[in-house]
Amino acid sequence: MVRAKLVHFKLSRSIVSDLPMIVGHVLKGAIFRGGVVATLAVILGLSSFFNAPVAAKDKGSTVAKDARLGGNKARTRFVADLSKATDYRIFTLADPYRVIIDLPNVNFSLPEGLGNSGKGLVSAFRYGLFAPGKSRIVIDVIGPVHVEQSFILKPKGNVPAKLVVDIVPTDRKNFERRRRELYNKRREKNNVQPASVDKSIEILTREKKHKGRLRVVIDPGHGGLDPGASSAKGSKEKDVVLAFAKVLRKKMKQLGKYDVKLTRTVDVFVPLAERVKIAEDYNASLFVSIHADSISKRLASRTRGATIYTLSKKGSDLEAQAFAKKENQSDVLAGLDLPETSSEVGGILWDLTQRETKNQSLKFAGFAVNRMSSKTKFTQNKMRSANFRVLRSAIVPSVLIELGYISNPEDEKLLKSKKWQNGMAIEMTKAIDRFLKDLN
Ligand SMILES: [Zn+2]
């Protein structure tokens, strides 16, 4: 399960001691939202809870050293220790309920494995790079909540700056009302236009401009605050698939026949719909999303092998459906609130376009199974299908290759071996070449 493997914050014993100090500050007027900075004195004695003063590695970026939860279901407080006061933006999302804190680039130097469990109204939370130069903390909450107040306390002596967020329960109606108000304000400010509902006509009339070389987009899954699956040893899917995607790009470049683009080249979150858009905007003839799966500890030692997935509404089997559901969580984990993509709606024209794309996707999947078989075992059903968001392009043939199970020690070893990566990338390059040859 992706969710269970995420890095969470640990509840710290020092929260109890933070509370009177912070409440004191609040009472004296360090009030909520927009990064209002408290200027009040810090009560002595707190510094003993921190082993060392928090100092930024590079002066420019903010470092988060610790975080904790306090309170109960009537009011839950989240506190993050930061190397300096910083601007932030806070908002809530529904389905599932979440509180999102956006920050400038923050270096999260938090103890590994900070808590899967929450406290009070918080069930868990995650953090990481959301986009270049932007960091995000996503707090999962157990129901509709209201951010009663949030503020930043400046650092003082050995005591780091603190970002403090107080959450109280509310009902769905009030939650929605506040969200709508905030959303309208934001929309006015940014002049956001709602996405167009049906792209069928645009797509059918769009010329496939190949202008010389055919193009391929390789999509390393996950990234940033969405780590994907992980192994018992701590290997993360987002790192393994990025490393492999880079090797694959290298092999494709060495072939010298096609142009190749990666959806990400660093450890950053990219929304699923954005990955599709990258392929469409690039006029790609093929989109290959690279992933690795994980399974519960009980089954980890005997579950291994690769699978190739294509898009289908219903899913070929229950396992494929479950895997797609897990993969589709990526946006939710990173705190996105996007409407369903336009690829899901549309009329007959859309269906026809998508059918052709689907046939092409299946054709490539067949080539890939053939070539990859010399380098890896496959799961029982080599080719499966399910409703993956990242495969929902109507115009670019798209497959999701699950390279293996990162939770299986043998697969993990292969996934991390340079030799295996090279060999597998060569085979995949051959499959891609075989597929694109027919298009030329
Ligand atoms: Zn994945």
pLDDT tens-place string over residues 90-127? 888 888 899 999 898 888 888 776 756 789 999 998 88
Give 219's strand partners. 289
CB 9 within 8 A of CB 69: yes
Residue 273 lies in a domain: yes
Distance of alpha carbon 52 from alpha carbon 291, whole angstroms:
39
209-244 residue pLDDT tens: 445 789 999 999 999 989 999 998 889 999 999 999
- Please indicate, yes or no, whether residues 22 and 124 belong to a single structural domain of this protein: yes
Q: Which residues contact 96 (CB under 8 A, 6 or more apart)?
A: 140, 332
- Please indicate, yes or no, whether residues 382 and 435 belong to a single structural domain of this protein: yes
335-360 residue pLDDT tens: 776 544 444 444 555 566 677 889 99
C-alpha 68 to ligand 1 mean position (Å): 28
CATH of the domain at 35: 2.60.40.3500
- Please indicate, yes or no, whether residues 136 and 67 belong to a single structural domain of this protein: yes
C-alpha 280 to ligand 1 mean position (Å): 21
- Please indicate, yes or no, whether residues 217 and 97 belong to a single structural domain of this protein: no
Pairing of strands 62-71, 145-153: unpaired
Q: Give the per-residue pLDDT at 32.
A: 32
- Please indicate, yes or no, whether residues 212 and 164 belong to a single structural domain of this protein: no
Average pLDDT for residues 320-331, to the nearest whole number? 89
- Please indicate, yes or no, whether residues 250 and 185 belong to a single structural domain of this protein: no
Average pLDDT for residues 312-338, to the nearest whole number? 85
Residue 255 lies in a domain: yes
C-alpha 271 to ligand 1 mean position (Å): 13
- Please indicate, yes or no, whether residues 174 and 214 belong to a single structural domain of this protein: no
Distance of alpha carbon 386 from alpha carbon 327, whole angstroms:
11
Residue 431 lies in a domain: yes
Residue 195 lies in a domain: no
Euclidean distance between the first and the last CA atom of the chain, given in angstroms as a whole number: 41
- Please indicate, yes or no, whether residues 345 and 400 belong to a single structural domain of this protein: yes
Domain count, the chain: 2
- Please indicate, yes or no, whether residues 222 and 359 belong to a single structural domain of this protein: yes
Q: Give the per-residue pLDDT at 4.
A: 35
Average pLDDT for residues 34-54, to the nearest whole number? 29
Average pLDDT for residues 79-88, to the nearest whole number? 91
C-alpha 330 to ligand 1 mean position (Å): 8
Q: Give the per-residue pLDDT at 42.
A: 29
CATH of the domain at 268: 3.40.630.40
Residue 416 lies in a domain: yes
By C-alpha distance, which of 430, 369, 438 is closest to 399?
A: 369
Domain span at residue 318? 200-439
Model confidence pTM above 0.75 = no
* CB burial string 393-418: b at 16+ within 10 A, e below: bbbbbbbbbbbbbbbbeebbebbbee
Look at residues 190, 214, 249 and tell me which one is the last residue of a structural domain. 190
C-alpha 360 to ligand 1 mean position (Å): 23
Q: Give the per-residue pLDDT at 15.
A: 40
By C-alpha distance, which of 183, 186, 97 is closest to 142?
A: 97
The phi and psi torsions of 397 (rounded to 5 degrees) equal: -55, 130
| Residues measured by CB to lie within 5 Å of ligand 1, the ion | 221, 228, 291
C-alpha 221 to ligand 1 mean position (Å): 5
